[in-house]
Structure 1
């Protein structure tokens, strides 16, 4: 059980402690990566995106278009950098397009 504090804390601190105590950060990172992908890639790529999965530090993205997959593979490092910048921390180290 979490420690009880007698002093008043901001809600952000309380939520941060709750996330750390319940080991929820990896799940939140998965949600953040999906949102960042959708926002960053726009409707054109999102229409062909069938699945996004974050496993440890590898992002697996399934695409229904082989042409788009090949095109995105040329800029995979730039995509990784933009995703991490959008999230605010290094979550993705490798991008696998399927």
Structure 2
């Protein structure tokens, strides 16, 4: 007798696949970083050359020294924005370059 297959919606199936392959955290990071302009605003986003998250550290490379200095004063707020968007503690520290 054939075993019945469990029917899942596409979102659940993809989430299960990502988790099984250890890609769920990377996927969540990419989802949050794709909203970078919405999170930090257009002026900062325009001056951002590179942004990534590695080992719970947010790395941001900016083309403007003035913007980098301003952002360095608001690292805690930036971490909170990212973590609130993710729904968990995705970032523990920020490195600006």
Q: Give yes or no for TM over 0.5.
A: yes
In structure 2, list runs of 5 or more residues that go unmatched. Answer: none
**Residue 29 (structure 1) aligns with:** 28
Structure 1 residue 30, shift from structure 2 partner = 3.0
User: Cα distance 1:82–1:13, how it changes in 2: closer, same or farther (>3 A)?
Assistant: same
Task: Tell me, in whole angstroms, the C-alpha distance in 2 between the residues paired with 1:31 and 1:88.
Answer: 14
In structure 1, list runs of 5 or more residues that go unmatched. Answer: none
Q: Deviations over 1:28-54 (max 9, x none)?
A: 133123223221112111111000121
Task: Tell me, in whole angstroms, the C-alpha distance in 2 between the residues paired with 1:77 and 1:5.
Answer: 50
**RMSD, aligned α-carbons:** 1.8
Give SS of 2:53's match.
strand
Task: Tell me, in whole angstroms, the C-alpha distance in 2 between the residues paired with 1:68 and 1:5.
Answer: 58
Give SS of 2:17's match.
helix
TM-score w.r.t. length of structure 1: 0.84
Matches within 5 A, 1:15-94: 15-94=14-93
